[in-house]
């Protein structure tokens, strides 16, 4: 009744409806009825790290029915179960989920981490992005994930594919957290021509990543910069006493040629690679 009246006077207004939070069936939900207008719906996900890591393909075309279901605002999400899981592992799981947003930006139009702020002497929610007392603060590793992603935003998602021996992808090598997940997304910025490649190694083993940009010839790599978020243990966490224990740092490029880059990925890590291209001879 309300939306009918609103759209009658303001037909271009975007209305966000309650979405299909994991749990009850959505059969009969108005947003699943193609006869009913539903601009966007709001979805919430609070999962264990492994559960959220396995949801990297949640909005892929093979999983999300673009004909039947509306666009999405992921209004709340965090890998916050069980209580006390404020770890690197949780932040990497969230990063994998976020890579799914990026690869499926035709469907996921916005997202918001929650909750955000917490006074440590008056906690009412155990998992919060920014934590403080009267004089000091610390942030979850998830805060750094948000910043690293925000600083590497493209205007167009790039098509990418894996090879067995190397590993450039628009998705994940595995959807099982027990087996380890390697997940990526790539984009290019129309503003400055930079290519951004984000890679999450959700596993306890080292991996080598070989990026081939041969399809971009005659352009060539003129500069490549990588930043890393990792720690010796996936269960490491920041605190008031060690606020910078997990924070981004520059990461060396092992090898670079005119159309290739090689990186080493530590266990339990996020690497964001930014590549600048220059015109070459055809």
**What are the two backbone dihedrals, phi and then psi, of residue 44, each rounded to the nearest 5 degrees?**
-125, 135
Pick the CATH number of 2-150 from 1.10.3210.10, 3.40.50.970, 3.90.25.10, 3.20.20.80: 3.20.20.80
User: What local confidence, expressed as pLDDT, does residue 269 receive?
Assistant: 98
What's the average model confidence in pLDDT over 242-259? 96
d(C-alpha 62, C-alpha 65), whole Å: 8
Render the burial of 257-281: b for 16+ CB within 10 Å, e for the rest.
Answer: ebbebebbbebbbbbbbbbebeeee
Give the pair of three-digit tokens for residue 147. 């910043």
Pinpoint the residues of the chain covered by CATH 3.20.20.80. Answer: 2-150
- Cα–Cα distance for residue pair 200/181, rounded to 1 Å: 8
Residue whose C-alpha is closest to residue 228's, from 251, 205, 209, 212: 251
Closest CA to 54 of 19, 100, 87: 100
User: What residue ranges of the chain are covered by domains with CATH 2.60.40.1180?
Assistant: 156-278
Residue 170 has pLDDT above 50, yes or no: no
Mention every residue, 6+ apart, whose C-beta is less than 8 A from residue 259: 212, 213, 214, 216, 217, 220, 221
User: For residue range 180-222, what is the model confidence (pLDDT) as tens digits?
Assistant: 899 999 999 998 989 999 999 999 999 999 999 988 889 999 9
Which parts of 86-180 fold into alpha helices (H)? 88-103, 141-150
pLDDT category of residue 166 using cuts at 50, 70 and 90: very low
Rounded distance, CA 182 to CA 172, Å? 5
pLDDT per residue as tens digits for the range 56-88 = 999 999 999 999 899 999 999 999 998 778 999
pTM listed for this prediction: 0.93
Numbers of helices and strands, H then E, in the chain: 4, 16
Task: Say what the pLDDT of residue 34 is.
Answer: 78
CA distance 225 to 252: 8
156-278: which CATH topology? Immunoglobulin-like (2.60.40)
Non-local (6+) Cβ contacts of 107 within 8 A are: 59, 64, 66, 71, 72
């Amino acid at each position: 009744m309300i939306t009918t009246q609103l759209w009658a006077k303001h037909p271009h207004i975007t209305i966000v409806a309650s979405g299909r939070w994991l749990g009850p069936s959505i059969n009969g939900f108005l947003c699943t009825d193609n006869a009913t207008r539903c601009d966007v719906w709001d979805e919430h996900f609070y999962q264990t790290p492994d559960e959220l890591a396995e949801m990297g393909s949640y909005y892929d075309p093979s999983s999300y029915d673009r004909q039947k279901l509306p666009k999405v605002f992921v209004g709340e999400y965090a890998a916050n179960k069980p209580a006390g899981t404020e770890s690197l592992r949780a932040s990497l799981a969230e990063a994998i989920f976020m890579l799914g947003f990026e690869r499926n930006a035709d469907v996921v139009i916005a997202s918001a981490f929650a909750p955000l702020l917490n006074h440590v002497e008056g906690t009412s929610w155990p998992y919060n992005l920014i934590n403080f007392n009267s004089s000091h603060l610390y942030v979850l590793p998830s805060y750094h994930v948000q910043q690293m992603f925000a600083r590497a935003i493209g205007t167009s998602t790039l098509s990418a594919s894996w090879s067995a021996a190397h590993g450039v992808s628009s998705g994940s090598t595995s959807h099982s957290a027990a087996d380890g997940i390697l997940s990526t997304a790539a984009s290019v910025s129309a503003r400055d021509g930079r290519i951004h490649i984000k890679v999450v190694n959700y596993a306890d083993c080292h991996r080598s990543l070989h990026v081939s940009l041969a399809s971009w010839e005659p352009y060539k790599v003129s500069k490549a910069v990588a930043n890393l978020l990792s720690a010796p243990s996936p269960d490491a966490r920041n605190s008031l006493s060690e606020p910078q224990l997990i924070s981004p740092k520059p990461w060396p490029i092992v090898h670079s040629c005119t159309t290739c880059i090689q990186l080493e990925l530590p266990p339990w890590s996020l690497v964001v690679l930014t590549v600048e291209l220059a015109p070459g001879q055809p």
